[in-house]
Amino acid sequence: DGGITQSPKYLFRKEGQNVTLSCEQNLNHDAMYWYRQDPGQGLRLIYYSQIVNDFQKGDIAEGYSVSREKKESFPLTVTSAQKNPTAFYLCASSLAGTAYNEQFFGPGTRLTVL
Amino acid sequence: AQSVTQLGSHVSVSEGALVLLRCNYSSSVPPYLFWYVQYPNQGLQLLLKYTSAATLVKGINGFEAEFKKSETSFHLTKPSAHMSDAAEYFCAVSGPSNTGKLIFGQGTTLQVKP
C-alpha cells in the first residue's frame, strides 16, 4: 500500500534536547511538507521541499531544521532553540509542488516536552 | 495574500440533519480550494477539491462543496449527518507562487448528536 509513514507516534523530550521526527513516503511524490498543529490554530507550515536536495522555510521555521537527501524521506529535527515544541506534527506530500495538487498526510507524531 | 476563514469553531447537529460548514477565502489569483477531515489523533484526509472544472464539487462520504466566486466562499455540506461524521474539518486555499503550499483555516469541529 502506498502512503506516508511517520515515526514515532508519540515522542517525549527533555528540555534542551534535539529530537528528529521521521517521515517516509512511497508515493513517488516530488514535494514534501512539515506542519505543526496546535489546538485552535489550524496547521502552520514549518518547512517544505519541492525537489530532492532543496527545501524552503515556511511560516514558523525558527527552531527547526530539515534535510531532503532522498526523494522518499524528509526528516524534521526539533532543536533546543524551539521555545515551545509541544505539538502535533504532520508530514505531507504531493505529486508536485504546484497549486492544484492535493497533499496527502501521514498519521502524525505527538511531541511532548517534559 | 491568500487566507482562509472558517466561521464557527464548533458546529453541532443532530444525526440525520443537514451539515453546513462555512469557509470564506481571500486570494489574489484564481484559487484552488480543498476540504480535509481529521479524526482524533490522526492525519488529514482529503474530502474534495476545487480546481475550476466545476463549481459544485462532490467528494467522499456524501460531502459536497460549492465554489461561489462572488461571495468568495466554499462551504461544505452534507444532506444527512451520520455519527461517523464527527471530526474536525479544515478548509484550505492554495498558497502563492504555485509552490504547492496550502493555507489552512482554523478548523471546525463537528459534533453529531444522536
Q: Average the pLDDT over A68-94 and give the result.
A: 95
Looking at chain B, which residue has its C-alpha nearest residue A108? B43
Compute the average pLDDT of residues A24-53. Answer: 94
Q: What is the pLDDT of residue B76?
A: 98
pLDDT band at residue B27, thresholds of 50, 70 and 90? confident
Q: How far is CA A16 from CA A32, A37, B25, in A?
A: 27, 21, 40
Of B14-23, B41-50, B95-104, the range with the lowest mean pLDDT is B95-104
How close B90 gets to chain A, by Cα (Å)? 8
CB-side neighbour CA atoms (13 Å) of B100? 24
Three-state secondary structure call for residue A21: strand
| Chain A contact set for B95 (CB, 8 A) | 99
Binned at pLDDT 50, 70 and 90, residue A39 comes out as confident
Minimum mean pLDDT range among A36-40, A47-51, B60-64? A36-40
How many residues are listed for chain A in this entry?
A: 114
pLDDT computed for residue A41 by the predictor:
82
**Overall average pLDDT of the B48-71 stretch:** 93
Secondary structure letter of residue B42 according to DSSP: S
- A98 to chain B: which residues are within 8 Å by CB? 98, 100
> Which of these, B36, B42, B95, B49, lies nearest to A48 by C-alpha position?
B95
Instruction: Answer yes or no: do B94 and A50 touch at CB < 8 A.
Output: no
Q: Using DSSP bridges, classify how beta strands B108-113 and B10-14 pair: parallel, antiparallel or unpaired.
A: parallel
Q: Does A48 touch chain B (CB under 8 A)?
A: yes
The answer to which of A91-100, B4-13, B80-89, B101-110 has the lowest mean pLDDT is A91-100
Number of A:B CB contacts under 8 A?
A: 70
Share of chain A above pLDDT 70, in %: 99
pLDDT score of B65 more than 90? yes
Which chain A residues in 62-91 lie under 8 Å from chain B, judged by CB atoms? 88, 90
A45-69 pLDDT, tens digit each:
999 999 999 999 999 999 999 999 9
The answer to whether residues A61 and A79 touch, using CB atoms and an 8 Å cutoff, is no
The mean predicted confidence, pLDDT, of chain B is 93
Q: Are the CB atoms for A19 and A34 separated by under 8 Å? A: no
Q: Say which residue the cell 534535510 belongs to.
A: A67
If you average pLDDT over residues A87-92, what whole number do you get?
Answer: 96
Residue with cell 511517520: A6
- Grid cell, residue B73, equals 466562499
- Position A1 scores a pLDDT of 66
Overall average pLDDT of the A73-102 stretch: 91
